[in-house]
Amino acid sequence: MADEQQPAPQGEAEKRTIQPVKYYLKDVSFETPNSPAVFLKEWIPNLELDIGNSNALTNDGHHEVTLTLTVTVKTGGETAYLAEVHQAGLFAITGFDDERLERLYSIYCNRSLYPYACSALSDLVSKGGFPQLLLSPINWLQIYEQRIAKEEPETPVTEES
Domains observed in the chain: 16-149 (3.10.420.10)
pLDDT tens-digit profile of 81-125? 999 999 999 999 999 998 899 999 999 999 999 999 999 999 999
State the pLDDT at residue 98: 87
Indicate the DSSP class of residue 107. Answer: I
Residue 105's CB is within 10 A of a number of other CB atoms, namely 21
| pTM over cut 0.85 | no
pLDDT tens-digit profile of 10-42? 555 469 999 999 999 999 999 999 999 999 999
26: left (phi over 0), alpha (psi -120 to 50) or beta: alpha
φ/ψ of residue 144, rounded to 5 = -60, -45
φ/ψ of residue 80, rounded to 5 = -80, -50
Sheet holding 45-57: strands in order across? 17-31, 78-94, 63-75, 45-57
